[in-house]
Chain A
């Protein structure tokens, strides 16, 4: 039995009620004073994360890498980047996290490696190299031409010529990220060994990056192929068999009907991100109507009972607009990316707070809607204090600036000289570290940070949000997003006002005739539910969460 299990009760569904927190290690806290965040620094901040109510830390890739794609270009699967520390630091961190009841998952890129990975170096060295067939080569760069190009801003083809190899190699992402050849059983076995190595080190699971692209087949778009699912099922069976209670979280930026394939029959990935619902929450807010959210939820198929959606507002990438129509995309750009610098690929590279123009009510409302949906919320570091972004940094680095801990030098992120920092901390008057930091918000009872902690605690008191059924309630007012969540005897009603103005709404709650809504924050009892429509009035961008309490007479 591994050390990890000592701290947790065996529960194959633990991830369904968990709060995830995504961390860019380089930007979180510098424990060694060299200008980069690292494992020692992160370990020092575990008390903060425990206080906040975080159940799972999701780490962006921490492996050795030339860092031409934020570490998603892995040069060695069996180590950590020296900037972040040593394997001993990783193990100490995982143990310290487990002691606090926090699990740890990490990004793992299965689709490709860095071109600096020794596998690729061997493969390109000669057509006879035993590693040659670990990658995908061709003499004909028109092969698989139905596969789209993902990084349209920087790549012109999925094939790149390699002089040394004398052939083209296949890559779905940057040209310095050659795709592994999953038709080769050696590659599949090598990747299973990588998983074993990290699970043995104590990791509680993986976020599997870019899983739809593992295989290539003629005449297809080379995404979501059957072969991919077969391999992922093999991964799942291996993990279940050798390391119970771990989680596989698929990153498949696809439509819900395609994404659910990654759950299999509950025998593939435990979790997958629900990408399309995210931009629609932003759209619903701007349009002041619930329809975009309701539509996408209606299109979302049921998933196996032992699976869960990962839900998020923002992450380390751009706010992706791949899963919207052209018209919707134009609308989103118009509303949320007024400066062209804010656009990247098919998305918007901004953080939550600036997207909301710093509006506290809007930020709270989005969290309320996120927390009310069926799934496990994934928070992005810094968004809990309403950190801003820096659109003048390249690629997606603008949303990966140093965590703002205090109002001191470097925002309390590092004791290194300013010039040594991997990226400048934000210093603008609105979102800069002197205005926005953890220390100040901890001291201010009305801060976003303190509010969010209470809200997280509230959600965690009710497993219904992770385990229960979800039913959107039809309302007379299109500006209201209302839903009922039910699990065992716990019934929760969530009502959100998307409008900038106060709204009234009548809800048909006759099913709960005779019971009382108890507002969950202040524990205030509202009038009894009757046969007639239940009238609620909501403040601009306001929301109510109620527990539907049983009638006293009934209980006695």
Chain B
């Protein structure tokens, strides 16, 4: 069976309706199947690689998945037999079985649960190189890091176009609640569990930085220009974000203060280079964590899907993950009000930050961070600013109701005393 044969409308129209299609803001000029990879004869199964071309002349590639549940079941069998064709190979040895259902509400990938035991995550947009999720899970599993869902298999493509990871198979975490839901349902209860999350995060970073012999993971000294390059990049993002800021009362706390934000960034960047750059989670926030009785599970090591795969594999300061988590506390505090109409408990965000950070700093290998609390605070603030500026841009374009959150985040950084 093949997907394109079952699509009756023009491929372009079909593609743009898919949830996982990454470039919804752009107009697709044309779409076509670049390659069909037969995987099995009886029953017939193939994977197709679709190319979307844009008017400017750029393109993106996507993996089309055979239909559910039959096609997916055939695919699952290939993990068991460790099938390898000319260009697609399955690794693992354990065939996922049981009731097949797809998980809803996903953006960039498709996940299928087998018998509530295993989950197959299919990467839809494909890019050359190993997917960081596979790379990170393999690394963490072999070093006995417990706060992850066990990797049980993967499949990849090696063809004329590129080498790429197509999907991974992983233990399914069923009986657990994700950190984001917890923050909304039981914010005070969550506060008590945040130190555990901070500790797990600190350990995760320490483990990720533990193998100097593996070039993909060996911690590195930041280059002499590292901070200046980062600051210059964020400075440009701020400039661009403020360039076409709409006239809206919601933006009042930061309106016309673009230059002030940029000056603030300059001040914060006056911090000596220090710490290490390491592989890190890359898209860390409450929604990427699950709490079960045995403790926290950290999910989704794919990095930010909007960034290129190469960018996502880059080593950076572990504080970038921490900034992501702290920003999600800010979101959670406001979401309670926006989504539930219930304000978060008084001072919740500050308490959450402290609970998480204190535990993290106690658990992480200290040489990974800049020396001294002042330097840590400044670098963290730079990363938080980077996130908040990105959020501002994103929310303005996608979720106007949420704009006050990054606005408050940016305003907050403007009001913090910067010590030298």
Interface residues of A (CB under 8 A from B): 1, 5-10, 44-45, 47-48, 51, 95, 99-101, 405-406, 412, 438-439, 442-443, 445, 450, 453-454, 461-464, 467-468, 487-490, 522-523
Contacts and interface: CB of A to CB of B under 8 A. Distances in A.
What are the nearest 5 A-B pairs in CB distance?
A: A489-B55, A463-B57, A442-B228, A51-B229, A490-B56
A481 B57 CA distance: 25
Given A47-B226, A443-B266, A488-B29, A5 B163 contact: yes
Contacts of B244: 523
Interface string B103-128: 00000000000000000000000011
Contact of B163 (A1, A99, A464): A1
A485 B156 CA distance: 39
B129 interface: yes
Interface string B218-250: 000001111011011101100100011000000
A196 to B, nearest CB: 21
Contacts of B418: none
B55 A5 contact: no
Contact of B57 (A95, A438, A439, A487): A487
Contacts, number: 96
B131 to A, nearest CB: 12
A464 B158 CA distance: 30
A450 B225 contact: no
A439 B225 contact: yes
Contacts of B327: none
A6 B128 contact: yes
Interface in B188-234: 215, 223-226, 228-229, 231-233
B310 A439 contact: no
B229 A462 contact: no
B229 A442 contact: yes
Contacts of A6: 128-130, 162-163
B308 to A, nearest CB: 8
- Place the interface of chain B in its size category: 35 or more
Contact of B55 (A99, A445, A490, A523): A490
A463 B58 contact: yes
Contact of A48 (B229, B235, B239): B229
B293 interface: no
Given A8-B162, A464-B56, A48 B223 contact: yes
Contact of B160 (A10, A47, A487): A10
Contact of A443 (B228, B233, B239, B310): B228
A447 to B, nearest CB: 9
Contact of B158 (A1, A468, A487): A1
A470 to B, nearest CB: 15
Interface of B: 29, 53, 55-58, 61, 127-130, 158, 160-163, 215, 223-226, 228-229, 231-233, 235-236, 239, 243-244, 262, 266, 308, 310, 313-314
A100 B160 CA distance: 21
A8 B236 CA distance: 27
Contacts of A51: 225, 229, 232-233
10 contacts: A6-B128, A44-B223, A45-B225, A51-B225, A442-B232, A462-B56, A464-B57, A487-B57, A490-B56, A523-B243
A518 B128 CA distance: 34
B307 to A, nearest CB: 12
B232 A7 contact: no
Contacts of B235: 445
Given A1-B163, A443-B228, A490-B57, A45 B223 contact: yes
B161 A100 contact: no
B128 A461 contact: no
A488 B57 contact: yes
Contact of B162 (A5, A48, A467): A5
A443 B270 CA distance: 10
Nearest to A408: B224
Contacts of B163: 1, 5-6
A488 B313 CA distance: 33
B6 to A, nearest CB: 27
A101 B310 contact: yes
A463 B56 contact: yes
A445 B163 CA distance: 39
Contacts of A461: 56
A412 B224 CA distance: 10
Contacts of A487: 56-57
Among B215, B229, B313, max chain A CB count under 10 A is at B229
A9 B128 contact: yes
A205 to B, nearest CB: 18
B24 to A, nearest CB: 16
B243 A522 contact: yes
Contacts of A454: 236
Nearest to A95: B215
A442 B225 CA distance: 9
A462 B160 CA distance: 26
Given A6-B128, A490-B55, 7 more contacts: A45-B223, A443-B228, A445-B262, A454-B236, A462-B56, A487-B56, A487-B57
